[in-house]
Structure 1
Amino acid sequence: MLFQFNVFAESDVSIAKSFEFKSKSLRENRTIVVSLPDGYESSNARYPVLYLLDGVQNLKHVVGSVDVLTRVGSIPPMIIVGIKSKSRMKDFTSTKAAGIEESGGGQAFLNFLGDELIPYIDGKYRTNEFRVLEGHSVAGLFTAYAFMESPNLFDAYIVMGPAFWWNKEEPVREVKSFLSATPKFDKKIYFGVGKEDGNRHALKRFVEEIKAAAPSELVWKHEEFDDEGHMSAPLLNNYFALKFIFSDMKLPQEIKDNFTSKKFLEHEAGIMKKYGSAARQPQEIYVPLAMELIKHKDYAGAVNVFRRNAEAYKMNKYPQNYVWLAEALEKNKEPAEALKVYKQAYELSKETGYGELEKLAKKIAGLKAKL
């Protein structure tokens, strides 16, 4: 690491830090940008990593989408690692093409990711085992090459407007061979493209091969977006790709319809084990579910859901999360615990200026008198 500086979205808001990485395998320095999730410094959580090709160019819109989806609980907080290429044709093509002298360096770039950059990131930051690779255009070509050439390096792939026209649609031929030799492939792959992007036709032929011979356990999706071209589609591609990749975080309808605290807590433990302890449901799931449980007088279940909601959204410092939990505890005949939680709500309300201090003080005094 030679030096470090901030990358700014605005003059006073830093969204990432950048450093020069000296690669032995590539025999050159590479600019790497790293965006850490909110709360990283104050937590002990480990986070999935999104490796973003053309990382400097795409950083702003990807950080924005990740921020929105993380805040609402659609995806887990994650570390974004962007890689800047000096020659895209060199890095992102695995074979030589006539007239493109620098082409064919894809294997060396893949070695750089697997042998150097990923171990460095895992050593420096609190990462968990889940890794995503994202690329657009020729970087999308490389992303597809990566899952065929080194399928265990990443857990999910985002392939956007890929240049599958390369060498007379070489990737379309390669994926057919890959699929025939790979009966099992426990990964997630998202293919996205604008309907005005000329690359959509070769991508469609690539996807047809997957549709015909998808390995067991492969989870994949192909989407085309109206009124979007090659350069405008990545914003939407990235947003919907992330929702797709982490869609298993969402509480299954079966658990909501046939609720037991055991099944609910097992699901929550599962997403935290897979995606890090900061993974969570949207509050739009937790709160209505708990309210419905109260209607059906499953107060213990409501306590479990409201407690999970309060813990998962602790960083928001929203007093009402604790009020809901305290009310459920009262209904579940746990006045001592309810008192503790009402006190938390009171202190948060005082700290944040939320209000309701008089109402909370009365609840606290009333419970104290009962106890």
Structure 2
Amino acid sequence: MKLINLILLFILIVQGNVYAADNINIAQSFEIDSKILQQKRTILVSLPTGYEANKARYPVIYMLDGLIAISHAVGARDVLVKSANIPPTIIVGIKSEDRMMDFTPSSIELYKSSGGADKFIRFIELELIPLINAKFRTNTFKALEGHSMAGLFTAHALIKSPDLFDAYIITSPELGWNKDEINEKLKLFLTSSQPLQKDLYFAVGEQESSMIKDQLSQFVSEIKNSSSNKMRIKHDIFEDESHMSVPLLANYHALKFIFSDLRLPTDIIENYSDEKFLAHEASMSKKYGELARQELKVYIPLALGLMKQQQYQSAVNVFKRLVQTYKVDNDHPQNYAWLASAHDKNGNKQAALKNYKIALQKAVDIGFMREALFRTKVTELTAELGLAK
């Protein structure tokens, strides 16, 4: 067990260095000349680690106030991807120009440009999303995130275009806009729409005004108490956080919540069956992309435990998932050696030899301590199969 822990630690260290570089650029930017908005808008896009090294498709998080929000969002995304709490995702930040125009659902006299939210939804739906889908490898899963006035817009988008996104992240929203009109729209929406299966995450800082906190609580309660509610909902109140500090924590916890179904259920781990395991992994791959995965500390102990129980085909299935899902950012020789060992025990000597050869070459490339062992395994299997050296 000590050796396994040492190997796992080495794998994690290597994982952190695979894409080391001198220059760090968290996002690319470009302009979109919007016919709907009749102006150019700056768009920021952060691609996940390893994007260029594969052909996988990715979920997309659309962030309002993107110029401000994207830096902390990218950091949260990268930490959560490395820990397999979320799948690798593309983050799209939309730079704000006139927040009162873009994010408000109705016009009021005090702000002459207000009331452009519906137009902004059309811009996102008809121009931005198709462009992102054309320029980048996206899958169908999309989330929208907004804070403050952008939180108001996100709540409005949920009501106005509920099918546009799979998840909505609403942080410290200004729901009191135009005499709390959005609450009446919400009530009408909940009584007239079909049940929706969406993920809704709400957050507010404990130090924010009572008005913002109360308005959000009322909004969330309306949804939870609706007879048509089929949505997964979480509402966090962060202690010692204010209106301007809460977005960082909210983004992190929102992503963990939205993608929480990715985790392998405890029941499958404790009462393993190939059918349940493969069905869960296939479902998550279909929903979140082929690189959606479990933590190393889930796959490896599970597969080694199956080996100990002499369930070798099951161990092969789990180790295959390990190799497939960590190929982009942690293509470690030990992963292939474990898979080779499972194949060997399961009687598939050809597959075992193939994977030991891969493990050996990768061990040579990085100077891994088990190179000699892998070389011995290759020699033994080559002789056993009667193949030329």
Tell whether the structures are fold-level matches, with TM greater than 0.5.
yes
The corresponding residue for 2:327 is 314
Q: Equivalent of 1:112, from 120, 123, 130?
A: 123
CA–CA separation in structure 1 for the residues paired with 2:302 and 2:371: 27
CA–CA separation in structure 2 for the residues paired with 1:217 and 1:292: 37
CA–CA separation in structure 2 for the residues paired with 1:205 and 1:56: 30
What SS does the corresponding residue of 1:159 show, helix, strand or coil? strand
The corresponding residue for 1:38 is 49
The corresponding residue for 2:361 is 347
The corresponding residue for 1:14 is 25
Q: What is the TM-score normalised by the length of structure 2?
A: 0.89
Cα deviation for residue 42 of structure 1 reads 2.5
For the structure 1 residues 11 and 88, does the alpha-carbon distance in structure 2 shift closer, same or farther, using more than 3 Å as the test?
A: farther
Cα deviation for residue 98 of structure 1 reads 4.0
The corresponding residue for 1:278 is 291
Aligned-residue RMSD, C-alpha: 1.7
Contact preservation (8 Å) 1:140, 1:162? yes
Cα deviation for residue 52 of structure 1 reads 0.7
CA–CA separation in structure 2 for the residues paired with 1:331 and 1:77: 33
Deviates more, 1:348-357 or 1:304-313: 348-357
The corresponding residue for 2:97 is 86
Cα deviation for residue 216 of structure 1 reads 4.0
Contact preservation (8 Å) 2:340, 2:352? yes
The corresponding residue for 2:377 is 363
Cα deviation 1:185-241 (Å, max 9, x = unaligned) = 121111011111222221111111112115243111111111111111111111111
Q: Kindly report which structure 2 residues correspond to 1:118-157, keeping only aligned pairs within 5 A, or say none.
A: 118-157=129-168
Structure 2, unmatched stretches of 5+, are: 1-20
What SS does the corresponding residue of 1:358 show, helix, strand or coil? helix
Counterpart amino acid of residue 338 in structure 1: A
Q: Kindly report which structure 2 residues correspond to 1:222-371, keeping only aligned pairs within 5 A, or say none.
A: 222-315=235-328, 316-371=330-385
What SS does the corresponding residue of 1:278 show, helix, strand or coil? coil
> Where has structure 1 moved over 6 Å in runs of 4 or more?
none
What SS does the corresponding residue of 2:51 show, helix, strand or coil? coil
The corresponding residue for 1:6 is none
Structure 1, unmatched stretches of 5+, are: 1-9
Cα deviation for residue 369 of structure 1 reads 3.1
Deviates more, 1:185-194 or 1:137-146: 185-194
CA–CA separation in structure 1 for the residues paired with 2:317 and 2:238: 40
What SS does the corresponding residue of 1:82 show, helix, strand or coil? strand
Cα deviation for residue 254 of structure 1 reads 2.5
Contact preservation (8 Å) 1:326, 1:337? yes
The corresponding residue for 1:3 is none
Q: Kindly report which structure 2 residues correspond to 1:41-56, keeping only aligned pairs within 5 A, or say none.
A: 41-56=52-67
Identity of aligned residues (%): 49
For the structure 1 residues 214 and 112, does the alpha-carbon distance in structure 2 shift closer, same or farther, using more than 3 Å as the test?
A: farther
Q: What is the TM-score normalised by the length of structure 1?
A: 0.93
The corresponding residue for 2:77 is 66
Cα deviation for residue 87 of structure 1 reads 0.8
Contact preservation (8 Å) 1:317, 1:352? no
Counterpart amino acid of residue 380 in structure 2: G
Contact preservation (8 Å) 2:36, 2:119? yes
CA–CA separation in structure 1 for the residues paired with 2:325 and 2:302: 15
Counterpart amino acid of residue 21 in structure 1: I
Contact preservation (8 Å) 1:134, 1:159? yes
How many equivalent pairs are there?
Answer: 362
Q: Equivalent of 1:176, from 187, 194, 203?
A: 187
